[in-house]
Amino acid sequence: MQSLHETIKAKAYELRIPFPEIPNYISDNLKYEFYDWQKEAFENLITFEAIKEKTNDTNPTHLMFNMATGTGKTLLMASCILYYYKQGYRKFIFFVNQNNIVDKTENNFINETHSKYLFADTIVVDDKTVKIEKVDTFSNDDDAIEIKFTTIQKLYNDIHIEKENEVYLDDLIKKDIVMLADEGHHLNADTKKKKQEELGLDTELTEKTSQDEIERKGWEHTVIELLLNKNGSTEENRNVLLEFTATIPDNQRVADKYAPKTIYKFGLKEFLSAGYTKEINLVSSTLDKRERMLQALLFSWYRHQIALRNGIPNFKPVILFRSKTIDDSKADYEEFLTMVKTLTAKDFGFLTNIENKFIEGESIYEQGKSRVLDLIKFIKDESIKKTEIITFIKDNFTERNCIIT
């Protein structure tokens, strides 16, 4: 299935829609200029809305920007806020799955003194100075940009748990709202539809709530059904949901679901090719979790040895292991510490014929197999004993040198 970003230009040409230009009210009111990929992404958004207008499409807008970490998704969000303000929108909701990300984004959008504030010192649209305000509930003010910063759990609880929630939801439904979801696809899935009474809507959601429950209650019911689709209202619906993510899960059903919504794609490979990110090396293998942990520890030791041989004595490689859930993270952390404490030479048996366990890519940053072979060759050429490596790992990865976050 072709994605929206692959078909949108042909559709615009068919409808004789002119190529878009970035409006001055966007460029003049942002602190930074667009990179080429941000410009193209925003042009696709403008083109999409022009197609909707041309074809009299009255459905709410739901789009996905699939862009690698570091490509400037937050600046693109800021430009979308300005764009939809110009189109008459005043109420915005920014939500994610973690409080710490909410706090960081608040600084980007609200804190004028912060080094990462994204807007110009003074925002001017149509000769009027525009204020951006953080709010808990939306007012009747039609001049300022009002942004509610929240998590998916808090958004759900505001609607279903808090007192007078019916009044709160009715108020949201009456307004035209732009929702900005950071890594939003992680909050939803192709779960089966369930009747509202089966959802247990009086149960509070927390950061410890299961992913399945967040998907059903938080995303499918609250964000899509109640907010984006205005709880089935038959009135004109101008609501907008923009999702921003670095990775879409490697699941065909999820990929197919997002294909008609993916307005722009600029993944890690494209970002690397553009030459604007750190040089990295992607390693694909058939190793199990324990073997991948050991492989990472071996690379850490190897890099330290290379640093020493090049006169860099204080080189300290850092390893990040990422788990899917908080519970998985705790279990993996304990497994890692136990593995380090009980490490023996037998644990490195997986290195035998390891070259057959790696998938070598064609790109320069997918040469994981050759890097592993370099490591094995180094151990052999330098006549390094496994006990030497084990001592290094046990000394450097004791519990006092590790942190779970």
pLDDT for 313-324, tens place per residue?
888 888 999 887
**What is the average pLDDT value for the chain, to the nearest integer?**
86
Q: How far is CA 340 from the centre of its chain?
A: 32
How confident is the model at residue 129, as a pLDDT? 97
How confident is the model at residue 324, as a pLDDT? 79
Q: Which of 229-233, 357-361, 398-402 has the lowest mean pLDDT?
A: 357-361
Banded model confidence at residue 190, pLDDT cuts 50, 70, 90 = very low
Between CA 358 and CA 352 the distance in angstroms is 12
pTM: predicted TM-score of the whole model, two decimal places: 0.78
How confident is the model at residue 211, as a pLDDT? 53
Give the number of C-alpha atoms closer than 13 A to the C-alpha of residue 82, restricted to the C-beta side.
28
The string of pLDDT tens digits covering residues 140-169 is 988 999 999 998 888 888 887 765 566 678
| Higher-confidence position of 396 and 205 | 396
Residue 342 DSSP one-character state? T
CA distances from 293 to 209, 305, 334, 339, 361 (A): 28, 19, 13, 9, 21
The string of pLDDT tens digits covering residues 113-148 is 999 999 999 999 999 999 999 999 999 988 999 999
Q: Cβ distance 371 to 325 under 8 Å? A: no
Find the DSSP H helices in 119-278. Answer: 152-160, 165-174, 211-213, 252-258, 268-274
Strand partners, 317: none
